[in-house]
Structure 1
């Protein structure tokens, strides 16, 4: 499923209650250009902060085409749309409703959780290994077994 840049802007306008098909209001084409620029700048800001969503930016020096594929996965669209809606409301000098701010924060947190990869940890050699935590390394255990056992008379016994 390909999500265009215009789809994200329309989502933001709908969530901001500024324009939608249900309201029978649409912004003029120049306003779409401004919102597409806001979308590009917002995603560039996210990438600067280390959040890479696979967004396909417009070629340098050219305005964003509304019908271009955004490259954003469907699970991340709400986070971008809600936060873009907050920016659009601020541009229009309107207060951001608490419900929109809460939904934007929750969607943003969910997007961040999808970005996190937890590295696997290797057990240290000096830590005990439990019954369920076996390592393939024979020396990766808390103690090192002796290869030989001395008897009371000092003669070694090999197990």
Structure 2
């Protein structure tokens, strides 16, 4: 008799990242002690017009590749208050301890995240256009749009469980 293991949050994050059509880099980091997952992403664009760009660290880029890095935090709401870290992430999404996260939430996240990444890539290219007037580039997460995506997901109590370690 075969035993089928339930898919964990980590499995679902890995699969979701694999399914994205995104030209940048993606990585997931699991901090077991803090009970969080960070989904890191990197956008890159060629600064062909050699526009002088200063990053948050104060480093100047005036040509070559421009790199933008950010993350999404998935956190155990029974262990910490993720909103305390919201300013450091594109968005923060809770899960319920060992119970994990509802399947429709994570599935809906990846549907919306794909659009956010595509918009981010487009906005970064626009930012580097010499005819544009924007002096700041920043990725945008619209919580209302995310909630609208979730409303269209098939609602169920299926969950991706927190991984055992």
Q: State the TM-score, normalizing by the size of structure 1.
A: 0.31
**Greater fraction helix:** 1
